[in-house]
Amino acid sequence: MSEQSVRPQRLLEVKGLKKHYTRKQGLFSRQHTVIKAVDGLDFYVKEGETLGIVGESGCGKSTTGQLILQLLEPTAGEIWFQNQNLTAMNEEEVRRVRRELQIIFQDPYSSLNPRLKVKDIIAEPLRVHRLSTGAETERLVAELLEVVGLGAQHLNKYPHEFSGGQRQRLGIARALAMKPKLIVCDEPVSALDVSVQSQILNLLKKLQQEYQLTYIFIAHGLGSVKYISERIAVMYLGKIVELATRDELFASPRHPYTQALLSAVPIADPRRKKERIILQGDLPNPADLPVGCSFHPRCPLASERCRREAPQFEQVRDGHGVACHYPLNS
């Protein structure tokens, strides 16, 4: 078999994806402001891999996840899943495909109905999509609880009887119920204690191998993303500013923003010291983006050109792209 034929396929491909919102400038104003939550994303995810998406709150990473799951309608662009253009599908076609696209939320508690028992929460999508009935559903739910490390003795409990980590396991079980191909993990460990975070990350990794799952793993810091992702996209104000394999991104970050994010990742070796890069200023107002490179007000390398001209996303090496006029040589 040739190398070409065993290379993993692209399960998902996103082309020129945009989500813009318009907002009135004032109650009586006729002027509108455009907020570019997501502004021209191009990326793919191969079958069985994990693509990490990282960036500060408000960078558009969760909006990207919601667009992929068809929970939001894009302003422009295409989303291809298993060689089908989701953005060109009718409602019925989207409903059918959506089963294979699931999400795990940051706060599972708010997505678990507090009045339902666990067996009903996990069975709900199975019933809605008529995938099983009666005793078969109960057997499947018990099996899913075992798979996520909880066990069938929890079937009759309510969400408030579980710890944060256990609730996240319930969220994972519910996502798995639909036998998805792609799961968007939207900050699934950010709200958990550090010790529990690694348990959930290990569970996600184990499930990925067992069920050939593909993940988009969204986080605001690079710590958990490093552990679970094969490739990482760094987002800033609606755009991808750098995308590379995990190893390459950590060894040779080329964008000043990536460097700043990396400097915040703790290192295990106490003998090694690294200097934390503190970015100046806050994230600019998305309704009033800076001209030129949108990172320039916070960038230590900003030049006159950066204040005038937005950089294009370009490949600096095979599989390593960056949007910066002066990519770093690290």
- Residues lying near ligand SF4 in the complex (CB under 6 A): 255-256, 293, 295-296, 299, 301-302, 306, 311, 324-326
Other C-beta atoms lying within 10 Å of the C-beta of residue 123: 23
CB < 8 Å & 24+ apart, contacts of 262-266: 262/222, 264/221, 264/222, 265/221, 265/222, 265/223, 265/226, 266/223
Question: Closest distance between ligand SF4 and the C-beta of residue 299, in Å?
Answer: 3
Question: Closest distance between ligand SF4 and the C-beta of residue 140, in Å?
Answer: 50
Q: Token pair for residue 153?
A: 């003795």
Q: Token pair for residue 295?
A: 């990172």
Question: Closest distance between ligand SF4 and the C-beta of residue 291, in Å?
Answer: 11
Instruction: Quote the CA–CA distance of 139 and 142 in Å, as a whole number.
Output: 5
Question: Closest distance between ligand SF4 and the C-beta of residue 239, in Å?
Answer: 11
What does each C-alpha distance from 33 to 25, 26, 39, 127 come to in angstroms?
Answer: 6, 10, 15, 43
Output 228 or 234, the one with its CB closest to ligand SF4: 234
Other C-beta atoms lying within 10 Å of the C-beta of residue 225: 24
Question: Closest distance between ligand SF4 and the C-beta of residue 281, in Å?
Answer: 13
Output 240 or 293, the one with its CB closest to ligand SF4: 293
Question: Closest distance between ligand SF4 and the C-beta of residue 325, in Å?
Answer: 4
Output 21 or 313, the one with its CB closest to ligand SF4: 313
Question: Closest distance between ligand SF4 and the C-beta of residue 250, in Å?
Answer: 19
Output 11 or 237, the one with its CB closest to ligand SF4: 237
Q: Token pair for residue 304?
A: 């006159």
How does 242-259 read in b/e, with b if 16+ C-beta sit within 10 Å?
bbbbbebbeebbbbbbbb
Output 123 or 306, the one with its CB closest to ligand SF4: 306
Output 199 or 303, the one with its CB closest to ligand SF4: 303
C-alpha Rg value of the chain to the nearest Å: 21
Output 132 or 303, the one with its CB closest to ligand SF4: 303
Question: Closest distance between ligand SF4 and the C-beta of residue 303, in Å?
Answer: 6
What does each C-alpha distance from 97 to 22, 81, 131, 263 come to in angstroms?
Answer: 29, 9, 14, 40
Output 34 or 291, the one with its CB closest to ligand SF4: 291
DSSP state of 60: S
CB < 8 Å & 24+ apart, contacts of 204-208: 204/172, 204/228, 207/147, 207/148, 207/172, 207/176, 208/48, 208/50
DSSP state of 197: H
Residue that has been written with the tokens 């290990």 in this structure: 202
